[in-house]
A and B are shown apart, each in its own frame.
Chain A
Amino acid sequence: MRVRIVKVARRVLMVTICLALMFEADGPDFDPWAQLGWRFQADLSGWIGVHIIFSLFEICLVAAIVLWFLRDQKAKRTSRFQRGILLTPVLVFAGALAFGIANGLFRGGGNLTIALWEVRGFLILIAAYMVVGMFIHTDEHVNQLVWVIFIAATVLAGENILRWLIFKDAILSDDTAYDHTDSIILVCAMLIGISVLTYGGTRAQRRYMWLLLPLCSFCLLIMKRRAAFPVLAIGLVVLVIFLLRLRPRIFWRVVPPIAVVTAAYLAIFWNNSGTLGQPARAISSQFNPDPRDFASNLYRMIEKADILANIQQAPITGLGFGQQFAMVYPLPNLSFWPFWHYTTHNAILWVWMKGGVIGFLAFFWLLGCAAFYGARVVETQREEWALVAFLRKRFSRRGSRHANGDARQYAHLMLRPATRDSKKSVTRKRAAASQAVGLNVPAWERSDDKTSATAYRSGTLAILVVAVCMIPVQVMFSYVDLGLTSERTMLLFGLMLGLIGRGYMLLGVQPAEERQRGEWRQTGNGTGPAPSQAGGETKELVRLLTGGPTSGEEAQPQSRPSAGQARRAATRQTQPASTSSRGSKWQSAVRSSAESSGDDTPTVGYDELLPWEIPGKTLD
């Protein structure tokens, strides 16, 4: 009974995420669907008459976490908490928040309730980072999360379009008709969609994109929020950087024509204020704003001047959360908003104003670490694929001048994609355990028709790329549009940080320094290697095949072993691998596959060994 409790908790979590993203927290009164969303995200005390300061969303999130803690011993072994590589920056940032709250209270005139409201978004971010470590351990879980985001974005976009169609007369201004944070959720879904098409995903995900992308694009156009288009542009720029690194041929084939089309579009629609001209307006209004944009720009300019004046008052410690900021330069009246004196639209500088240099340092250290390690995680895939590409070329029938026949057959067995026809009676786990002989297939070359440890399709790489994209997207959005105080955006951002933190585990690879020590990762769910984990073992097999240094030994870049070393390595190859249990497992897997193909286990002894530094080639 209790074994299933983790599954139940995961479903509660996924449903909660879906509802939180699809429902607007602050929709207009005339839309009944928006009222439903308000009830889900507002404090219960606001609509049931009982003083409960938590919303349904927060209660569901806490319920999922509580259920996870109630799991039994058996479930504890298979569903452990994964700390992730960003745990330290996240905890440091949490400490900075605690300092900011204490500073606000002890400074005098502070309000604890307001302070807790101010940091509520950050608390959701930290909670979201933690729940990823609790619940998302495998490709299957990541795919569920991808679908949750897709469904939420679809419903959100559909509802906004219906609101535009049905309540057109009731909409007084575009600014108040839609929630600020809708833009970032739709942009995230669009980026995941493009990333799934570029870096691979399941067939259903890729097909669904052709519905979701136009829907979200149209929704962004009718919402007319200026912030949406720059943040989409910045996300696409990061996506393009990844494309340049991972798939350079696609980059040179796709990006220059798109750049030309974009330049032509901007030239044609520069002064157009219609629906199609909204993306161009987001840029042109910076230089030549219309009256509406001028008023919006002016508010933010005055607000920024106020923020700088307040930062100068306490640059190191900040004002503290729960303290009002001084309006040195009077702002337009927004007294209907309870946090008018506490929270600014520029949420990035607001962090410095309230948390001081300490909070700002901790926040940007977290963002910087996420950007850096996220990029490192994705980069591991290029390294693995580059290695496989090199070996494929090296051992191809035409290209292997130096390898003897046995070695060529052996390499062919190793490098073919480990695939088998998918059957309902064969579970993926069994296939992963017994059939995974071939090594790493790039995510975009995989197929739904095959099941194996290395050829199974998933959106893991795609969403990891988007997770990194969302960091500058979030910063840019938060700089102008209250991005860090919204629970919805912080939930999404926390999930992205959580995925980056567990990126190595989800992709089934290890940081380079751990690989050098030969410490093989144990998978989170204990069901065997993750789909692309075999790529990490490619190098080990190459070493075994070619008699190079084993994982427990120090690799010697750019050095060519002597004949004696090669003989010793070949001798070592014939003995059971003692440095790594996984190495022996892979040896036996390769051997059994060779036997099933009617071949004898080949004798390894190349007259020329592979270089240990693999040149930067890709499989495009």
Chain B
Amino acid sequence: MNYMLLFLFACIILGLWSPTKAKRGWIVAVLVVLLVAFLFVSPSHM
């Protein structure tokens, strides 16, 4: 659960502090894939 919360906090902080005019939506997709890949190879961290 910690990693899932970490992912959500990362998304919130990214949204609050990323530059105004930059499009950063794609980073969310990358973070999701990283999260799921990490949990996939390391199920004990689920």
Residues of A with Cβ closer than 8 Å to B? Answer: 234, 238, 241-242, 245, 304, 308, 311-312, 315, 348-349, 352, 357, 360-361, 364-365, 367-369, 371-376, 378-379, 383, 468, 471-472, 475-476, 479, 512-513, 516
Inter-chain contacts of B32 with A (CB < 8 A): 361, 364-365, 368
Query: Cα distance A311–B40 when bound, in Å?
Result: 10
- The answer to whether A241 touches B13, judged by C-beta atoms less than 8 angstroms apart, is yes
Which chain B residue lies CB-closest to A245?
B16
Inter-chain contacts of A476 with B (CB < 8 A): 1, 5
CB distance from A197 to the nearest CB of B (A): 20
How many interface contacts (CB-CB < 8 Å) are there between A and B?
94
Which chain A residue lies CB-closest to B30?
A368
Inter-chain contacts of A512 with B (CB < 8 A): 20-21
CB distance from B27 to the nearest CB of A (A): 8
Closest 3 CB pairs of A and B: A375-B15, A371-B11, A368-B28
Known: A242-B16, A365-B29, A368-B7. A357 touches B40 (CB 8 A): yes
Inter-chain contacts of A383 with B (CB < 8 A): 20
Query: Cα distance A376–B4 when bound, in Å?
Result: 20
CB distance from B28 to the nearest CB of A (A): 4
CB distance from B45 to the nearest CB of A (A): 11
- The answer to whether A368 touches B17, judged by C-beta atoms less than 8 angstroms apart, is no
Known: A365-B32, A372-B28. A475 touches B16 (CB 8 A): no
Query: Cα distance A234–B1 when bound, in Å?
Result: 13
Q: Name B's interface SS.
A: helix
- The answer to whether A315 touches B17, judged by C-beta atoms less than 8 angstroms apart, is no
Query: Cα distance A357–B23 when bound, in Å?
Result: 27
Known: A308-B46, A349-B46, A357-B36. A373 touches B4 (CB 8 A): no
- The answer to whether A375 touches B11, judged by C-beta atoms less than 8 angstroms apart, is yes
Q: Name A's interface SS.
A: helix
Additional A-B contact list (15), CB under 8 Å, known A368-B29, A373-B25: A241-B9, A241-B13, A245-B16, A312-B43, A315-B40, A349-B46, A357-B36, A360-B36, A365-B28, A365-B29, A367-B11, A375-B13, A375-B16, A379-B20, A479-B4
Q: How many residues of B contact A (CB 8 A)?
A: 30
- The answer to whether B12 touches A238, judged by C-beta atoms less than 8 angstroms apart, is yes
Query: Cα distance A468–B1 when bound, in Å?
Result: 18
**Could you write out 15 A-B pairs with CB less than 8 Å apart?**
A304-B46, A311-B43, A361-B33, A364-B32, A368-B8, A368-B31, A371-B11, A371-B12, A372-B24, A375-B11, A375-B12, A379-B15, A383-B20, A475-B5, A513-B21
Query: Cα distance A236–B36 when bound, in Å?
Result: 27
Query: Cα distance A365–B18 when bound, in Å?
Result: 19
- The answer to whether B1 touches A368, judged by C-beta atoms less than 8 angstroms apart, is no
Query: Cα distance A465–B6 when bound, in Å?
Result: 18
Inter-chain contacts of B24 with A (CB < 8 A): 372
CB distance from A362 to the nearest CB of B (A): 9
CB distance from A568 to the nearest CB of B (A): 24
- Central interface residue in B8, B25, B36, by most chain A CB within 10 Å: B8
Which chain A residue lies CB-closest to B37?
A357
- The answer to whether B11 touches A368, judged by C-beta atoms less than 8 angstroms apart, is yes
Query: Cα distance A376–B31 when bound, in Å?
Result: 17
Inter-chain contacts of B8 with A (CB < 8 A): 367-368, 371, 471-472, 475
CB distance from B46 to the nearest CB of A (A): 6
- The answer to whether A372 touches B33, judged by C-beta atoms less than 8 angstroms apart, is no
Query: Cα distance A348–B23 when bound, in Å?
Result: 29
Query: Cα distance A360–B4 when bound, in Å?
Result: 11
Known: A234-B5, A348-B4, A476-B1. A373 touches B35 (CB 8 A): no
- The answer to whether B16 touches A361, judged by C-beta atoms less than 8 angstroms apart, is no
Which chain A residue lies CB-closest to B6?
A472
- The answer to whether A364 touches B15, judged by C-beta atoms less than 8 angstroms apart, is no
- The answer to whether B12 touches A479, judged by C-beta atoms less than 8 angstroms apart, is no
